[in-house]
Amino acid sequence: MADLRLFIAARPPDTVLRGLSDLSRLLASRGDGVKWVRSDSIHLTLKFLGSVDEAMAGAIGDAAARCARGVGNIPLSVGRVGAFPDMRRPRVIWVGLAGEIERLGSVANALEEACFDLGFSKEGRAFRPHLTLGRVKDRLSVETIKKIEQSKDVVLGDMVVDAIELIKSDLLPSGAVYTTLSHFPLT
């Protein structure tokens, strides 16, 4: 069977995606060395699995469904621009999340354990919920750094995580294309 590149994530609503798209356009500067994420590709990653044998997709879906049961909706607010690892050496530009982060972290931890039981490695870093706006390919321009610093405290609205999805990622020259394989409501 073929390998699939998979991850488990939650998708923001269209209202938040529009705000993120507007923010990306505001932050982008000519020659800034950033590959900005298309708004329809922005998601909240809960567990990245990487290259997976297609035969494992069912077991992963079953595990994700178990992790979604009994959780209920998780309200979050979207805002605060930052960078990983930090603004001195940015590799990823992101927008943070606030609200019921502990409950969201519990879902991420449950997915981590369930996937570990299926033979996947555990993430070496603590869960830091965010929505990726762009990946820095080169140096950030001074203009972009200033725009990010001026937008640090931006508030883009609220979202409710009411489901998680098992998503396939196809890497193409034009960028990643995401396809939802399974959808699991947080019941």
- The predicted structure's pLDDT at residue 145: 85
Burial of 105 (0-12, 13-18, 19+ CB in 10 A): middle
To the nearest 10°, the Cα dihedral for 37, 139, 87, 151? -50
Helix (H/G/I), strand (E/B), else coil: 82? strand
Predicted pLDDT at 69: 97
Establish whether 43 is a catalytic residue: yes
In this prediction, residues 116-120 reach a mean pLDDT of 98
Can you give the residue range of the structural domain that contains 177?
3-185
> Model-level pTM?
0.94
Please, which pLDDT band fits residue 87 given cuts at 50, 70 and 90?
confident
| Structural domain count, the chain | 1
| % of the chain residues with pLDDT over 90 | 81
- Given the residues 43, 57, 61, 94, select the one marked as catalytic: 43
Given the residues 11, 47, 130, 147, the one annotated as active site: 130
Parallel, antiparallel, or unpaired for β 34-36 and 163-172? unpaired
CATH code, 105: 3.90.1140.10
